[in-house]
Structure 1
């Protein structure tokens, strides 16, 4: 996944929401602002990398109700609760449910940014590891086909080069796309490039 990570801010208080948005902008962190949990659910695309900064007490659907709904939908996104009305039982409940942190307003900007940046960095490391894992699952033949594909060779050219049938190349190519999660050739080239960079850094 190479999409840009976003900070999703959900808070029904206009002043708080706008202030947080300005803070993210000043820190160079792309963000999206939502005044309700329902608006966030409608707009969020599962798999979009980022971090959810979530108010607790909101009308209609509260922050912890949104957390429960995300769990029900099997949507995994790091959540930092940010609220003016926190108590120990609620804190324990949302942390046990998987929240990364539970912060109380007002909070120093530097502290909040440090928490968010740490979450985004950890998420980036996990995503990079997942990319390595998807490449590792490829067979030796699938790797051969993949590298020939990203050089721009057609299926027929690859078949001749490897001494296999055109149909076999199609099967291997389909498996490569499925295992790497690439949707097209450009996507596959990007994934291969990012994999090589990340693995070189590890090695």
Structure 2
């Protein structure tokens, strides 16, 4: 059985969404992009996502608030945060919030892909053979 890896990208910057969409699809992932946290939370993709990549700073709901909302609703998908404003305080907050990856924009594509691959391996649902 082949498991589909559905990645949800949540970022208000269309160029980041497009770049991540192209990068992740080139690695065989199914990708859904969203311009806001609210758009993602209201979508049908919330329950089926294998991993979320979200921007920290978005106009109405931050990546941190999105993570809190997802966890409050019982969604445990791995969560990777990206930000143009990476400082030690934001990094510490991300790690204490339980994110599985934290990247400063612009980030090396290979580093992000390695993180995505690792979290997908670690969080792959176990199936009976």
Q: TM-score, normalised by structure 2?
A: 0.90
CA–CA distance in structure 1, aligned partners of residues 3 and 116 of structure 2: 17
Corresponding residue pairs, total? 127
Deviates more, 1:112-121 or 1:82-91: 82-91
Larger Rg: 1
Q: Work out which structure has the larger RCO, using CA pairs closer than 8 Å and 6 or more positions apart in sequence.
A: 2
Q: CA deviation at 1:3?
A: 5.8
C-alpha RMSD over aligned residues: 1.5
Q: Match for residue 97 of structure 1?
A: 97
Q: Match for residue 86 of structure 2?
A: 86
Unaligned stretches of 5+ residues in structure 1: 132-194, 197-203
Which one has a larger percent strand, Structure 1 or Structure 2? 2
Q: TM-score, normalised by structure 1?
A: 0.59
Q: CA deviation at 1:77?
A: 1.1
Q: Does structure 1 conserve the Cα–Cα contact (< 8 Å) formed by 2:4 and 2:29? A: no
Unaligned stretches of 5+ residues in structure 2: none
Deviates more, 1:26-35 or 1:68-77: 68-77
CA–CA distance in structure 1, aligned partners of residues 8 and 105 of structure 2: 17
Equivalent residue runs for 1:20-169 within 5 Å: 20-43=20-43, 44-46=45-47, 48-124=48-124, 127-128=125-126, 131=127
